[in-house]
Amino acid sequence: CRNASLVGLSLLSPDGTHVKGDKPTKEAFLHRCIYCARPRDSAVIHTHSIHCVALSVLDGTNHEDVLPPLTAYYVMRVGTLPLVPYYPPGDEMLGEAVGLAAKSQHALLLANHGPVVSGRTLHEAQYALEELEETAKLFFLLGDRPVKCLSPEAVT
């Protein structure tokens, strides 16, 4: 993410009209739903990063908070990570589910799909997404070993 460039990005107006850049994907409506739910945020990033996608397909996870708080930066930049139920790509019901979840959380994991993160700035969203992907990677590296989770109180 830190080496991301503007190549391949689409610029859309607040109502979803394509302004410039690459043609938006059929999932551009997800961004609009998040902006409506989180008007103070000015950036939304959606990826298909490998460890987060792997996490999104696990069965039996806590849908209210899929990933344990393993590091201080995860707690500070992500907090909790709810799992949004699966809908086929482009399904408008996904937008409704994302918009509802985004009212209370800026980082979401779309089931069998990947993460979507918003932030007040592009850098804030980017750093949260990086922390999310790295923590998902740690989660898989740790396997079934017992872990010490952090609370928000332990970090502040």
Instruction: Tell me the three-class secondary structure of the chain, residue by residue.
Output: CCCCCCCCCEEECCCCCEEEECCCCCCHHHHHHHHHHCCCCCEEEECCCHHHHHHHCCCCCCCCCCCCCCCHHHHHHCCCCCEECCCCCCCHHHHHHHHHHHCCCCEEEECCCEEEEEECCHHHHHHHHHHHHHHHHHHHHHCCCCCCCCCHHHHC
pLDDT digits (tens, 9 = 90+) for 65-99: 999 999 999 999 999 999 999 999 889 999 999 99
What pLDDT does residue 22 have? Answer: 87
pLDDT digits (tens, 9 = 90+) for 13-66: 777 788 888 888 888 888 899 999 999 999 999 999 999 999 999 999 999 999
The structure's pTM equals 0.90
pLDDT digits (tens, 9 = 90+) for 113-126: 999 999 999 999 99
Domain ranges of the chain: 10-155
Active-site entry in 35, 73, 92, 133: 73
Q: What fold, for 10-155?
A: L-fuculose-1-phosphate Aldolase (3.40.225)
What pLDDT does residue 4 have? Answer: 55
73 assigned to active site: yes
74 assigned to active site: no
Active-site entry in 27, 124, 130, 134: 27
